[in-house]
Structure 1
């Protein structure tokens, strides 16, 4: 049988990777809804216990991103992805089994969530790094655009589909869907036949490798600007979500369903932005496209904060601001990943992304904490106006010559050390 040409083989491999990503993202939406409901309905957990359960999903990202990046760079990434999917699928099915047998408890649930979260760190870092083995540098914008559209689509329709599934079969049984999605994702990844670039052990300590990843990410001017802008935007976004719950729903009495609609429209905007990024980069320099996307996102966040600070929030205007934010966020997400993958050497992809995730995920609690304290002192309306000012400052991190003068990744020289 004649071997398929490399370009065709790579396209097929990316389609499997893309499908595996989409399937697991859709399943994740079910789990995000199902786990708190299991805690409340099956274990009679209170608000503190549910908060502890939710926080336990983030802990692995905070404490493990740097170390995971080291091992992703030392090991082959495809087996890591397959193993992470298989173990996560089994862990979620274990929750269903414990629940069916009447053995489930909050400590067991938290432990299984930590296991799933820890493997999600491996999968997240490995997937970002593995993409450079599947897609040539000049195709990264298109590949990341497709992944961003898929992610946004899952965020738009996933909660509604997950809610319908949970209503139909119950939260515990709904976990079966996510467990099976991970197993199917593992099968699709196992079918990929594109060889990875050989990984060579550095011969150094783990902490030396960690330091190398941190040094690259925060001394290289473009990577540093990307990380700081993403962290800044993340702080504002998470703070705004808290204030929307307090002000829009709690104080003004709007329906949570309306807030959910605004968030869904934002996710839809992200899908449009992700889809348009490749074409925009063919017409304009990618650095300026990125800056334009961040300006849109910042204006959307600031606009949402301002309209919510009003005595009566115009709901249609709030929805428009989220659409603008989503559009900019979709463009930014595609180019953040593409630029990082293009700049970072293949052998450092895991450590660079782990370092990036450390600051972006590690700053997540700052937004809710800051706006919570400010709202208690100044009131929610004044805090929203202050947050709007902070939001419009996000693009300033990117207004530097190295970012403005960015070009898209070019094809690399062929490598001979493939395995």
Structure 2
């Protein structure tokens, strides 16, 4: 178990933010689909908006995070996210909220997130020893899964009381609290010299490390493909549940509550699974489970069996995500030198989120052609490709410690 006041405050801040995010995960689709009556393409654009900044800023953010002290970057990015997300309920109360306005707000939100995520993934190795990173990531995942369990039900209930725009304010408050907690951490971060440093060369160095590494290169490409499929699948899932199957906001929240319970179980098992099987093999098994899991909602119909298939699919997805995430992050944080962490995390996340944005928009367009179920079946094929890519022997056998 990672110890220390620094990690405790970091963990608490992440937990508060996770609960807010779980509430917003329910409130945002309800806001877009039911309150704003957005089209399938508009749903895809809204889903993509907070991801697009990764394509524009991701590589630069990683390079600057390696130049700057990471704690202040994380603090100010959390403040920025709180302010921009807080605009949603304000605009809603003023009657100015439209899909295109929401896209602009989420573009700003995503820009702060680019720097925030590059900093947070690079700061953790300074708070705990590297041989404890899988455990530390697992603790954060377990908290996130707990949030995914309680947050969606809370979000569904809040929507019924105060409406979707005001419900989103919960995450804005969470980001402010996270900023205060991280700011209170006592951490001696070295000031890196900027003399003679070339931004372009630094970006290239991060990309070269990421894609030429025997283990991380193959893992990175598989993850990119996974995000492309997931962006499209989540767009199709929200439309399938909220329109085709006529889920209420409360039922949609319960769907993700089950996802959170399953993710918590997976996160609890993740350290033991990684120790016994090897972190690389755990990632491979999880990637192989994703296409099977998405097949279930793809065949869900407007009856009780269809609802069972939806819930079963989300349960398998949650279990797989809980097992995978801390083991994958442990691989990245352990195998990457500290001076490259910002660039490697920034580069990987930049491409991941760019492809997720492409997938979200493509999913909205494809739904108009093939329907939500046809889109999900297409996504199943792409998830299978991601599993094949990561099936290399070196990835399977990668262990930590």
- Cα displacement string for residues 108-167 of structure 1 (whole angstroms, at most 9, x for unaligned residues): 765544333211211111000000100111110111111112222323322331333344
Superposed, 1:206-221 pairs within 5 Å as 206-221=199-214
State whether residues 308 and 384 of structure 1, in contact with CA within 8 Å, keep that contact through their aligned partners in structure 2.
Answer: no
CA RMSD of aligned residues (A): 3.6
State whether residues 44 and 360 of structure 2, in contact with CA within 8 Å, keep that contact through their aligned partners in structure 1.
Answer: no
CA change 1:331–1:188 in 2 (3 A) is: same
Unaligned runs of 5+ in 2: none
Deviates more, 1:27-36 or 1:214-223: 27-36
Q: Distance in 1 between matches of 2:377 and 2:109?
A: 38
Q: Where does residue 323 of structure 2 map in the other structure? A: 331
Max Rg structure: 1
Q: Where does residue 131 of structure 1 map in the other structure? A: 124
Match of residue 168, structure 1, among 161, 165, 173? 161
CA change 1:311–1:382 in 2 (3 A) is: farther
State whether structure 2 residue 115 is matched by structure 1 residue 117.
Answer: no
Q: Distance in 1 between matches of 2:272 and 2:315?
A: 20
Match of residue 187, structure 1, among 167, 176, 180? 180
Q: Where does residue 347 of structure 2 map in the other structure? A: 355
CA change 1:129–1:250 in 2 (3 A) is: same
Superposed, 1:10-409 pairs within 5 Å as 11-31=4-24, 47=39, 54-93=47-86, 102=94, 111-171=104-164, 173-174=166-167, 176-201=169-194, 203-244=196-237, 253=245, 255=247, 260-305=253-298, 307-308=299-300, 314-368=306-360, 384-408=376-400
User: Number of matched residues?
Assistant: 398
State whether residues 39 and 50 of structure 1, in contact with CA within 8 Å, keep that contact through their aligned partners in structure 2.
Answer: yes
How far off is 1:170 after superposition? Answer: 4.7
How far off is 1:301 after superposition? Answer: 2.5
Q: Distance in 2 between matches of 1:206 and 1:140?
A: 29
CA change 1:329–1:373 in 2 (3 A) is: same
State whether residues 233 and 379 of structure 2, in contact with CA within 8 Å, keep that contact through their aligned partners in structure 1.
Answer: yes
Give TM-score scaled by structure 2 length: 0.84
How far off is 1:288 after superposition? Answer: 1.8
State whether residues 287 and 387 of structure 2, in contact with CA within 8 Å, keep that contact through their aligned partners in structure 1.
Answer: yes
How far off is 1:184 after superposition? Answer: 1.7
State whether residues 95 and 104 of structure 1, in contact with CA within 8 Å, keep that contact through their aligned partners in structure 2.
Answer: no
CA change 1:185–1:394 in 2 (3 A) is: same
Q: Distance in 2 between matches of 1:172 and 1:310?
A: 28
The alignment partner of 2:356 has SS state of coil
State whether residues 295 and 328 of structure 1, in contact with CA within 8 Å, keep that contact through their aligned partners in structure 2.
Answer: no
Deviates more, 1:263-272 or 1:355-364: 263-272
Q: Distance in 2 between matches of 1:270 and 1:212?
A: 35
CA change 1:334–1:404 in 2 (3 A) is: same
CA change 1:286–1:355 in 2 (3 A) is: same
CA change 1:350–1:202 in 2 (3 A) is: farther
Q: Where does residue 413 of structure 1 map in the other structure? A: none
State whether residues 77 and 113 of structure 2, in contact with CA within 8 Å, keep that contact through their aligned partners in structure 1.
Answer: yes
State whether residues 67 and 192 of structure 2, in contact with CA within 8 Å, keep that contact through their aligned partners in structure 1.
Answer: yes
How far off is 1:69 after superposition? Answer: 0.5
- Cα displacement string for residues 364-397 of structure 1 (whole angstroms, at most 9, x for unaligned residues): 2444555566666666666655543443333222
Q: Where does residue 416 of structure 1 map in the other structure? A: none
CA change 1:177–1:239 in 2 (3 A) is: closer
